[in-house]
Structures are given as C-alpha cells and as structure tokens.
Amino acid sequence: MAGNNQTPTEYIQHHLQNLTFGNHPENGWSMAHSAQEASDMGFWAIHLDTLGWSIGLGSLFLWMFLKAGKAVTTGVPSGLQNFVELMVEFVDNSVKDTFHGKSQLIAPLSLTIFCWVFLMNLMDLVPVDILPMLAQKVGVMFGADPAHVYFKVVPTTDINATLGMSLSVFGLIIFYTIREKGITGFIGELTLHPFHSPNKLVQALFVPVNFLLETVTLLAKPVSLGLRLFGNMYAGELIFILVAMMGLWQLPLHFIWAVFHILIITLQAFIFMMLTIVYLSMAVEKH
C-alpha cells in the first residue's frame, strides 16, 4: 500500500478514512484528498464507499433470497433453499415471541435487517489491505495519488450508515405509535407517564417532567441503536488494522481475532434486529 512510507498513525488514519465526494469551499464538487478536506465539505458530503458496499450487499441479499424463492421445491432442497428457510424460520420465531401487535411489515423488515447488517459486518473479515490496495491501483489508472485514495470496506464502521438505519427504525416507531394510538395517545405517552396523579393540578405539574423524561427515552432509542453497532464494528476494524501492522505475526493473530469476531458480527446483527422488534412492539402496545 501507500503505507510503505507511512507512520503507524498515518497508516491507521488512512484505513479509517472514507472515500468522500462533496462540495469543497475552494475546490467545488470533488473528491476529498485528506480528512480535513472531507471535513470542510460539511454535512452533505457523500461517502461513496459506504453507499457502494451497502447497496451492493443489499442487492446480494435480495438476489440470493429471490433465487432461492424461484427454485423452491418440495423435493430434495438445495443448500441455498435450506439456508433461506432456516433464516426465515429463525426470524419468524423471533418476531412471534417478541412482537405483540399485528403487522405484515415486521417479519420482512426484521429478516432484511438481520441479513443486511450481517453481510455488512462480514466484510470486516476481509484482510484490511486487499480492497484498499485494489482501490489505489484503480485510482492510479485515473491519475490519482495513491496516498489520497481512501476506501473503507465495512459500511457499519461508518456512523452515517448505522445512524441512517436507526433513524429509519425511529421513523417506524413514530408511525406505528400514531397509527395504533392516534396523535392524542402519542402525546399522552410523552406527558402522562411515568408520573401520574388523579389530582389534575398535580398532574399538570408532572407534565413538563414527564415530557422531558419520555422525550429523552424516545430519542435515546435510535441513538443507542446506531451507536452500539457502530462502536462494536469500528473497534473490531481498528483491531484488525493494528494486527496488520505486526509483520509476520499478523497471520496467526488475524486468524484468532477473525474466529472470535465472527461471534461479534453475528451478535451485533441479531441485537440490531431484536431491538428493532422490541421497540416496534412497544410502539403498538396499549396500556
């Protein structure tokens, strides 16, 4: 990589920088050549690597399940059909055990979340230098300086991706709450709990306190959902980068951490799915 003349700090920073496109105050619409340029592009800058891998892996998930659905048979099933049936049954049982409302969206949503997040997390097992090195070679073909070609492979190590997914779940929480309980029910949940009194004057005094507590609780759901996934995957990717800097020791250490990291990859996808189901179940419960 360009890392031959890089210090350890520069090597780590290079691997953790996204391929960013945006409107720079001085250069206009262009690719960022440094972390500072990416920062200067502001909120509307686009992380092309995160978007590309997210869309690509999502398309892979859809293609696999579509292929299995078209080839489904009551005879001897293929390995892909067995896998898809296993995943559908696992997610279906999780939804039945946790979600207490009625919705045709929750099960497909949960299956999509689990498989999509798992595939994005799985990219963490690809050796950290391989794909960035290929991206640098492609960049050189177009006249770019290899030191300025950034390429992050794991979408869930980008907080924009994890918070984007969690905000989508948050939107569904609001939608289901209002659909099941109405606007008045939604406002009542924010103002009449957890402190309640039969005395109307006392209850009026509780309203601001309840609103503050319940609003914080509500907003904490998408924030914790996105940050939990991002934090675990970012830390795992950082360890892989540190292992890659250890020369001859990197292969056995990489294997050991990869075996352990498989559990983290699966667990984080499962947790994101289960919390989504739990939050949506709380949204439809009437009490």
Active site positions, annotated: 224, 228, 232
Please state, in angstroms and rounded to a whole number, the distance separating the CA atoms of residues 116 and 249: 32
72 with 255: CB under 8 angstroms?
no
List of long-range contacts for 211-215, beta carbons under 8 Å, 24+ apart? 214/189, 214/190, 215/190
Query: Which distant-in-sequence residues (6+ apart) come within 8 Å of 267 by Cβ?
Result: none
For CA atoms 53, 265, 223, 109, the dihedral sign is positive
Query: Which distant-in-sequence residues (6+ apart) come within 8 Å of 83 by Cβ?
Result: 68
Query: Which distant-in-sequence residues (6+ apart) come within 8 Å of 54 by Cβ?
Result: 120, 155, 161
- For the chain, give the longest Cα–Cα distance: 75
Q: Are strands 46-47 and 28-31 parallel, antiparallel or unpaired?
A: unpaired
Tokens coding 92: 């279906």
Return the closest-CA partner of residue 119 out of 95, 154, 80, 88.
154
Instruction: Mark residue 150 as left, alpha or beta (left: phi above 0; alpha: psi -120 to 50; beta: remaining).
Output: beta
Tokens coding 52: 């590309």
